[in-house]
Structure 1
């Protein structure tokens, strides 16, 4: 249980910490910030950075239309959804690489005769077929590249300038 004196001693530390965070946020986001803190049992609020600056910030905010007030704001749900999607993508990338490696290992073991095709389940066979299709596409692409005539640049003939 905390006594009132303990609470009164911690209050200035919390306000100082909150003021520092507000200052950092204001600097990083290039936005005006004012703190008006009403504490129980006190007549006047604690104001940061000072009363005049806070009045200007609050007046400017209240003079804006609703559209202007929310123009730059991002809904928390939208922000969190984008962060969640980003994290899920970061998880999917290694999972995809692991899956591809597993298929490759299965293919190599099958090629080396260490695994019988009849020991594979439907998912593994389907993945091997997809791997085979990708390999076939790469071979076809390479074949097209090799069939195209190479364009080696030859120096212009000296006779062509005199004709």
Structure 2
């Protein structure tokens, strides 16, 4: 048989825990929270933070129109759909990075003579060609920037020599 004092202690711990969580949520989300807890066999509810503040919070909530009440409500399905899409995008990006790293490793092994070109399949060869083209584009871009830098750094010195 459960002792009434044990039951009341458990109830007090649950209410204390719930109040702490409500306080944390209120602080983190910067929203007003009131708890009104009805226990079986009791006529007076437990109210947190206190009766006056709870009345103000409930009155303010009830004064809003239906549109205002649900304005910031995010449907769970919408929330999880956006999270799922975000995770799928992260997975795609990770898979792409892994694919690029694998091709770079294959290229390095090919360069080091650890892999024979005839051991590669058509997909790997195509990826190596893409990597080669991308690397060539980067080199061309760097070459242009270096030429521009050398041109701009020579121009002022040429002008100063002419004067």
How does the TM-score come out when normalised to structure 1?
A: 0.78
Q: 1:17 to 1:139 in 2, by over 3 A?
A: same
Q: 1:11 to 1:155 in 2, by over 3 A?
A: farther
> The residue matched to 2:152 in structure 1 has which SS?
coil
| Cα distance, 1:143 vs structure 2 | 3.2
Partner of 2:63: 63
Gaps of 5+ in 1: none
Partner of 2:39: 39
Distance in 1 between residues matched to 2:101 and 2:29, nearest whole Å: 44
Distance in 2 between residues matched to 1:9 and 1:93, nearest whole Å: 52
Gaps of 5+ in 2: none
1:11 aligns with 2:24: no
CA RMSD for the aligned pairs? 2.8
Distance in 2 between residues matched to 1:10 and 1:122, nearest whole Å: 69
Distance in 1 between residues matched to 2:3 and 2:20, nearest whole Å: 25
> What are the residue-to-residue correspondences of 1:74-113 with 2, within 5 Å?
74-89=74-89, 94-113=94-113
| Cα distance, 1:147 vs structure 2 | 4.3
If each structure's helix is expressed as a fraction of its own residues, which one has the higher value?
2
How does the TM-score come out when normalised to structure 2?
A: 0.78
Distance in 1 between residues matched to 2:158 and 2:74, nearest whole Å: 61
